[in-house]
Structure 1
Amino acid sequence: MPVSAPAATAPRPVQPSLADRWHSATAEALRAPAWVRVMPALLLGVDLVLEVAVPGAVAAGFLVTVLPVVVAFSLGPVAVGTVTVFTVVLQVLLALRAGHLLEQHHLWTYLATALAGAMGAGLAWQRRRQARDLARVRTVADTLQHAVLRPVPTRTGGLRAAARYRPAQADSAVGGDLYEVCETRFGTRVLLGDVRGKGLEAVRTVADVIGAFRNAAHETPDLTELARQLDRHVRREAAERHDEELFVTAVLAQHGPDGWVDLVNRGHLPPLLLRPGTVRPVDCAQQPPLGLGYLAVGADLPTTLRLHPGETLLLHTDGVSEARDTAGDFYPLDTRLARLPGTDPESVVDFLDRDVRRYAGTLADDLAVLALSPTG
């Protein structure tokens, strides 16, 4: 494919600032469930109802002794202190109504309420501290995700693009799947892959491979040579970690201004070509995954196809095709996609994101999809 000047590229979606994400995460961590917020009012209501329902000789104010502790699960230390004072005053009034104001067991109740308030204030302070720490961790994870898996621009070169990533672990922002789109002087270059393994080591490999791709994509004219560079990079990483089984399955694509797409498949699932009502796997020449290139046999040549207006090229990881329902059946990817009325990249990605999770319930593997369609 001839070298050409890069076409206009839409800016990547603007993300909230770090401070905004931290404040949002803190507010979410501090927000107690609705039933927790209702509990103090419910306890107070029950106490007052009993006060009216039982004979006047009995003071029901004993029930609200735990009120400051209950409030601590939803409010802060200042609110707990205010509720403690209110509770003691209420107990005094209820005891006065029953004529037991200074009886010994009521005096001990006032003291117990004050101690509960002190412990509740400490509990509220500790809860808020842990919530801020949790918010900080979530913000760092969110920032890491956006630094590693940057949002895909809606338009890049001659393509419209959309991507979606869902980690299998809900508390993890980044897993073992990866994607990237770069606009270069050689055309729009795309990478989607899946790292062997899980956990922090897989996240480290994802960051390493994406970083290597971002650098080499702008300097390497030939797409197959770009794949070989990534293969050597993964092998070096495997040697440094003494992990002989480290590899990355990946698909690399390059789209030029003439509408042709070059594809290099390194042990990954074949891309899908979508037209309204039809889905066709692209028959790519298979080569070993990145990191296992020394096992290659034969010429390493790209597969070339023409991407026409109205068509969409879909790249995905096995978190989509191998998602299972409760009966153990795989997600029928081709059948579901063939039912779509259109092939707009954003619509395809949104549909798969919702439909796979609805079909499988809890994801057993990371899910990554990337859809590309010509702008013409």
Structure 2
Amino acid sequence: MPRSHLKKLARPGEAIEPPRDTEVVIAAAVVTVLVLALGVLSESLVWLLGLLVFLPGAASALCTVRQTTFVSAWTAAVVIAAVLLPEDDGQPWLDKILMVLLTLALGASSVYACHRRIGREREMLRLRSTAAAMQRHILRPLPMLTDDVLVDGVYEPVQEERLVGGDIYDVVTSPWGTRVLIGDVQGKGLPAVGAAFAVIGAFRATAHREPTLTALVDALDASVVRHNSYAAQTGDDERFVTALIVNVDAHEEVQAINCGHVLPQVLRDSDVITPELTSGVPLGLADLAAEPATVDWFAFPPGATLLLTTDGLTETRAADGAFYPVAESLARRVSLAPTDLPRALYDDARAFAGKEDRHDDVAILSVRRSPYRL
């Protein structure tokens, strides 16, 4: 993330991006002049002044506490001056006193409401800042560079306000090459995120320790099984995780194990090649498999781009139910730079879906051999 949408408060007690003081003063003055002019023309000044009590309420929703206090004081001063100073305007004194009391009460409540709003905003910013920090440690920002590869891409949770979703990725350097993981947790919501964390933690703990991809996959499968056992104790549903693990070293062929995941694509010159990989069972379901995980090899020469995606891209649908044509889209963009390809695919898929809401997270990674190896 990608990206952080957080905004800092300027000082304690201030709102997010409040208007400037001069804008607040000008707005209050303009509204006051208009209300007074209408009151004079209609000869009903007292009740038209009631329109001014909306000024503090508007300020409490948009301004800082200090600005809201100024607007409340301004409004009270104008109402007191316009209502109490004239002696023979024909208005009952009870109406005048009630108007002044109402203005003071609404001003005080507006300042209090602004203070509460600022407090909620600050708490939300702290929570989002914490979530962003967690994400940076769990899903490390792209791009990532190792001695073997340069990995770039796009990661977009289905809920834009949620920083981490059910799609996962990671890159770990090992003595046997760089290992790249991309996966998709079954289901959505916080339980799916918990399973995602379990797999990422296991990948980082074992990718640099296990010499074979089969042993690495066994460790990842065991992490999902353990997570499911804990989830069962709390009444949560069990999860499985589709995953693709790739090992890239100095050779022009790479190793890969496909655990029920979307197949990779290799872009070379003007060709788009889909390697034929054995599709195993997702992580967490190894006990149901008739055979252990199988390591496949496919060509990944210098200059080629390896594209890894989740089904959030391949299962994108248009309004008529048609699936996003990934192969055709790749064929049109095969000449794009690896750093530009993931974003171009993501934007094109969103345009293809139109106004249809996304129903899944999306992760798209481009893997290119590191320039240090070329």
The verdict on a shared fold, with TM-score over 0.5 as the criterion, is yes
- For 1:22 and 1:58, the matched residues in 2 are separated by 42
2:63 is the counterpart of 1:75? yes
Partner of 1:30 in structure 2? 16
Residues 341 and 280 from structure 1, CA distance in 2 versus in 1: closer, same or farther, beyond 3 angstroms? closer
Distance 1:83 1:252, change over 3 A: same
The answer to whether the Cα contact below 8 Å between 2:172 and 2:180 also exists between their aligned partners in 1 is yes
C-alpha contact 1:80 1:121 (8 A) present in aligned 2: yes
Matched, 1:166 2:161: no
Q: 2:301 aligns with which of 303, 308, 321?
A: 308
Question: Paired residue for 1:89?
Answer: 77
Is 1:321 the equivalent of 2:314? Answer: yes
Structure 1 residues 45 and 200: CA distance shift in structure 2, 3 A: farther
1:230 is displaced (CA, Å) by 1.2
Q: How far is 1:238 from its partner? A: 2.1
Q: Measure how far apart 1:245 and its partner are.
A: 4.5
Cα distance change on mapping 1:236 and 1:316 into 2, 3 Å: same
Aligned-partner Cα distance in 1 for 2:358–2:332 = 23
Query: Does 2:239 match 1:246?
Result: yes
- Greater displacement, 308-317 / 289-298: 289-298
Query: 1:264-322, CA deviations, whole angstroms, 9 ceiling, x for partnerless residues?
Result: 10111111112354422221111111111123334643221221233211111111111
Query: Is 2:107 aligned against 1:117?
Result: yes
CA distances 1:30-65 after superposition (whole Å, capped 9, x unpaired): 34799xx89867754641441354348777323102
Aligned to 2:207: 217
Sequence identity of aligned pairs in percent? Answer: 32
C-alpha distance in 2 between matches for 1:203 and 1:83: 46
Please give the secondary structure, in 2, of the residue aligned with 1:232: helix
TM-score by length of 1: 0.85
| Bigger Cα displacement from structure 2, 298-307 vs 181-190 | 298-307
Residue equivalent to 2:274: 281
Q: Is the 8 A contact 2:280 2:294 kept in 1?
A: no
Tell me which residue corresponds to 2:120.
130
Give, in whole Å, the separation in 2 of the partners of 1:141 and 1:260.
38
Deviates more, 1:261-270 or 1:46-55: 46-55
Q: CA deviation at 1:187?
A: 0.5
User: Which residue identity is paired with 1:65?
Assistant: V
Q: Give 3-state SS (helix, strand or coil) of 2:62's partner.
A: coil
Residue matched to 1:176: 166
Indicate conservation of the 8 Å contact 1:57/1:99, yes or no: no
TM-score by length of 2: 0.85
For the residues of structure 2 that align with 1:42 and 1:189, how far apart are their CA atoms?
64
3-state SS of paired residue (1:345): coil
5+ residue gaps, structure 2, are none
Q: Separation in 2 of the partners of 1:201 and 1:57?
A: 61
> Does the 8 Å CA contact 2:35/2:48 hold for their aligned counterparts?
yes
Alpha carbons 1:153, 1:161 under 8 Å: kept: yes
Structure-2 change in CA distance of 1:33 and 1:333 (3 Å): farther
The Cα RMSD (Å) is 3.3
Worse-matched range after superposition: 130-139 or 342-351? 342-351
The change in CA–CA distance for 1:283 and 1:41 in structure 2 (over 3 A counts) is farther
Residues 194-214 of structure 1: CA distance to partner in whole angstroms, max 9, x if unpaired? 111221111111111101000
Other structure's SS at 2:128 match: helix
Contact 1:21 1:139 in 2 (8 A): no
Matched residue, 1:10: none
The alignment status of 1:60 with 2:48, answered yes or no, reads yes
- List runs of 5+ in structure 1 lacking aligned partners: 1-12
Q: Which residue of 1 aligns with 2:96?
A: 106
